[in-house]
């Protein structure tokens, strides 16, 4: 089997990489043991074994995972800014900006709401919390006090204000996606209105973005080390026993997410003319990286590059992917309704249809704007339960010990959902090279 590699730039993960000249040659694929996905998978397995047999040592390896995520987050801001600003500047028609954004938001709201409904339905059918008979009075609110405090700080006005950075440079250093997206859109629109100077600035943004993507390719070489440290810490800190104690909930969540990916995203992909399985195979390195680090942000830069390589227009990728990381979190949505009903069932609270609908409506709002980082789903769940007094927020203590294991599934589902969404929006906008997509996914 052979793959396309760019002569001028090289490759990030032995996958297609586009260049300005678009000159490609075909060379043999590297041996499997040199591929990133094999190295990350091996690192995860070794980390899990170390965490189980030598937990004291494994817990001390947490900085390895933290450092890798910090390395990636270091370049996320510039990558998003340059991709979005450069894409908008080269659009030619600013009307496409509104069209792309509008269609993306419609897709996000529709699919993410469907994910919430699926979590609600599965929780009512499987009823994973029934039989636990936990006395709400016995729960310790202090165990989840930190998450509740952060959730209480999240308001609609506060969320909107957080999108506007204090300074232009501050948006690039804040570590948040939406402020970067905000200034990138304004900057791109400004460049697009300059006339002849637009082409020179657009070319400069493109060249500078290549530098940062080269940085990403260098940083990704440390992915196995980061995945090893993060997964070793998870197993060493929480242990296999914590998984076994709430195995029904974990299994239900994983199976529901798999059902959503195959049954919903798979059907959407099929109806749009591409194979979800081939897409997952194409993104396998990033998926394993997300599993290892429990953060979908770790794979954001390489996801953007690979979607461009697969034929999606740069402008669409730059708008849809960063926005989706805050507004299209399918895995988080499934988790929220499933976990909320689990807590209610475990504490013997029987929610009526009206109360469940209220829970769903609150979750539709509270799930928007959550970041794609570890722990964000737990904070969003706390924000949702705080508005629905029927379910005790202290009940989150029941799943605190296993949240790290569920976080990986949330992150992977979020990641896949945004990859599919970008291709769909690109197709709707007639900004998708279908022949290239087919060639890349089938290679």
What is the full DSSP assignment across 16-56?
A: ----SS--EEEEEPPPGGGSHHHHHHHHHHHHHHHHHH-HH
Q: What does the pLDDT read at residue 5?
A: 35
Average pLDDT, the chain: 81
Nearest residue to 114 (alpha-carbon basis) of 426, 441, 421, 433: 421
Degrees (nearest 5) of the Cα angle 350, 352, 354?
150
Banded model confidence at residue 275, pLDDT cuts 50, 70, 90: very high
- Tens-digit pLDDT profile for residues 2-57: 333 333 333 333 444 443 333 333 444 566 666 777 888 899 889 889 988 998 99
Residue 428 has pLDDT above 60, yes or no: yes
Task: Provide the whole-model pTM.
Answer: 0.78
**Which range has the worst mean pLDDT, 152-166, 213-227, 344-358?**
152-166
Hey, what are 216's tokens?
Answer: 């990403």
Banded model confidence at residue 152, pLDDT cuts 50, 70, 90: low
Residue 386 near residue 334, CB atoms below 8 Å: no
Alpha-carbon torsion 88, 94, 96, 97, what sign? Answer: positive
Residue 417 near residue 331, CB atoms below 8 Å: yes
> Per-residue pLDDT averaged across 265-289, rounded?
94
DSSP H/E element including 58: helix 55-59
Q: Which of 46-55, 165-174, 320-329, 360-369 reaches the highest mean pLDDT?
A: 46-55
- Tens-digit pLDDT profile for residues 237-259: 877 766 665 788 889 999 999 99
What residues does each domain of the chain span? 2-441
Residue 274 near residue 437, CB atoms below 8 Å: yes
Residue 432 near residue 426, CB atoms below 8 Å: yes
CA distance 348 to 331: 26
Question: Is CATH 1.10.3860.10 correct for 2-441?
Answer: yes
Banded model confidence at residue 293, pLDDT cuts 50, 70, 90: confident
């Amino acid at each position: 089997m052979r793959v396309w590699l760019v002569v001028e730039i090289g490759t990030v993960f032995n996958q297609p990489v586009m260049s300005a000249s678009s000159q490609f040659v075909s060379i043999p694929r590297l041996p499997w043991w040199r591929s990133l996905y094999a190295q990350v998978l091996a690192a995860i397995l070794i980390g899990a074994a170390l965490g189980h047999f030598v937990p004291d040592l494994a817990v001390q390896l947490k900085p390895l995972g933290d450092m890798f995520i910090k390395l990636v987050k270091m370049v996320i801001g510039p990558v998003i800014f340059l991709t979005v600003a450069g894409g908008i500047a080269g659009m030619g028609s600013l009307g496409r900006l509104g069209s792309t954004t509008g269609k993306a938001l419609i897709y996000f709201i529709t699919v993410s709401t469907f994910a919430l409904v699926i979590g609600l339905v599965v929780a009512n059918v499987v009823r994973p919390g029934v039989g636990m008979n936990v006395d709400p009075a016995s729960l310790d609110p202090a165990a989840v006090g930190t998450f509740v405090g952060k959730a209480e700080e999240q308001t609609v006005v506060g969320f909107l204000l957080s999108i506007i950075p204090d300074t232009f440079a501050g948006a690039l250093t804040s570590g948040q996606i939406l402020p970067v997206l905000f200034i990138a859109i304004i900057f791109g629109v400004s460049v697009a209105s300059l006339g002849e100077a637009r082409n020179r600035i657009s070319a400069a943004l493109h060249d500078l973005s290549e530098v940062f993507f080269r940085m990403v390719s260098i940083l990704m070489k440390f992915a196995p080390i980061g995945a090893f440290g993060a997964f070793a810490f998870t197993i060493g800190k929480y242990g296999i026993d914590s998984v076994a104690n709430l195995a029904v909930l974990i299994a239900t969540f994983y199976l529901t997410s798999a059902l959503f990916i195959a049954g919903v995203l798979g059907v959407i992909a099929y109806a749009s003319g591409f194979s979800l399985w081939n897409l997952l195979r194409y993104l396998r390195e990033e998926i394993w990286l997300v599993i290892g680090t429990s953060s979908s942000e770790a794979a954001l830069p390489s996801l953007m590059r690979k979607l461009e390589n697969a034929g999606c227009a740069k402008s669409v990728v730059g708008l849809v992917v960063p926005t989706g990381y805050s507004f299209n979190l399918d895995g988080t949505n499934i988790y929220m309704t499933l976990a909320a009903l689990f807590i209610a069932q475990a504490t013997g609270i029987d929610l009526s249809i009206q109360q469940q609908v209220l829970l769903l409506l609150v979750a539709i709002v509270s799930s928007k704007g959550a970041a794609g980082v570890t722990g964000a789903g737990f904070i969003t769940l706390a924000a949702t339960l705080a508005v629905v007094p029927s379910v005790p927020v202290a009940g989150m203590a029941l799943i605190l010990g296993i949240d790290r294991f569920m976080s990986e599934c949330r992150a992977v589902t979020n990641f896949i959902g945004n990859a599919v969404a970008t291709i769909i929006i690109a197709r709707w906008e007639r900004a998708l090279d279908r022949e290239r997509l087919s060639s890349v996914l089938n290679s």
